[in-house]
Amino acid sequence: MQASDRFNINSQLEHLQAKYVGTGHADLNRFEWAVNIQRDSYASYVGHYPILAYFAIAENESIGRERYNFMQKMLLPCGLPPEREDD
């Protein structure tokens, strides 16, 4: 980053973006991005009642159970993080 970049509006933009959990950066790896995607997806399922109802019918579960399951899955949506090669 250049010295001049540090003070302009774009740097503020990035700072603003960094405040949100789901945003990414150049060093994000496949796993981390996938975790974000999964969590966002589950949050979306839980947030939209019709979708939740649709899943409930498809899985033959109660809506409450579905919601509970999704929330539980948000904990470790992709399983444990893979071992890092470098450290």
Partner 1 sequence: MDPEIAKTQEERRKMEQQLASMNSLTFDTDLYGGNDRDSYVTSIPVNEDEDNLDSLMDNEVARKLASYTAPKSLLKEMPRGSDESDDVSGFKKPQRIIDREDDYRKRRLNRVISPERHDAFAAGEKTPDPSVRTYADVMREEALKREKEETLKLIAKKKKQQQEEEEAAPEKPPADSSAAAAAAPKRRNRWDQSQDEGGAGAAAKKAKTSSTSDWDLPDTTPGRWDATPTPGRLGDATPSASVGRRNRWDETPTPGRVVDSDATPAAGGVTPGATPAGMTWDATPKLSGLATPTPKKQRSRWDETPATMGSATPMAGATPAAVTPGVTPVGGLDLATPTPGAINLRGAITPEQYNLLRWEKDIEDRNRPLTDEELDAMFPQEGYKILDPPASYVPIRTPARKLLATPTPMGTPLYAIPEENRGQQFDVPKEAPGGLPFMKPEDYQYFGALLNEEEEEKMTSDELKERKIMKLLLKVKNGTPPQRKTALRQLTDKAREFGAGPLFNRILPLLMQPTLEDQERHLLVKVIDRVLYKLDELVRPYVHKILVVIEPLLIDEDYYARVEGREIISNLSKAAGLATMIAAMRPDIDNIDEYVRNTTARAFSVVASALGIPALLPFLKAVCQSKKSWQARHTGIKIVQQIAILIGCAVLPHLRSLVEIIEHGLLDENQKVRTITALSLAALAEAAAPYGIESFDSVLKPLWKGIRSHRGKVLAAFLKAIGFIIPLMDALYASYYTKEVMVILIREFQSPDEEMKKIVLKVVKQCVSTEGVEADYIRSDILPEFFRNFWVRRMALDRRNYRQLVDTTVEIANKTGVADIVGRIVEDLKDESEPYRRMVMETIEKVVTNLGASDIDARLEELLIDGILYAFQEQTSDDANVMLNGFGAVVNALGQRVKPYLPQICGTIKWRLNNKSAKVRQQAADLISRIAVVMKQCQEEQLMGHLGVVLYEYLGEEYPEVLGSILGALKAIVNVIGMTKMTPPIKDLLPRLTPILKNRHEKVQENCIDLVGRIADRGAEFVPAREWMRICFELLEMLKAHKKGIRRATVNTFGYIAKAIGPQDVLATLLNNLKVQERQNRVCTTVAIAIVAETCSPFTVLPALMNEYRVPELNVQNGVLKSLSFLFEYIGEMGKDYIYAVTPLLEDALMDRDLVHRQTAASAVKHMALGVAGLGCEDALVHLLNYVWPNIFETSPHVINAVMEAIEGMRVALGAAIVLNYCLQGLFHPARKVREVYWKIYNSLYIGAQDALVAAYPTLEDEQNNVYSRPELMMFV
* Residues within window 46-75 making contact with partner 1, judged by CB under 8 A: 47, 54-55, 57-59
Rounded Cα distance between 33 and 54, Å, is 27
| 77 and 43 Cβ atoms separated by less than 8 Å | no
| 31 and 82 Cβ atoms separated by less than 8 Å | yes
Residue selected from 15, 50, 80, 86 as contacting partner 1 according to rule CB under 8 A: 80
Query: DSSP 3-state helix, strand, coil percentages of the chain (rounded to 5)?
Result: 60, 0, 40
Residue number with CB closer to partner 1 (10 or 62): 10
**Per CB under 8 A, does 4 bind partner 1?**
yes
**Per CB under 8 A, does 28 bind partner 1?**
yes
Residue number with CB closer to partner 1 (54 or 63): 54
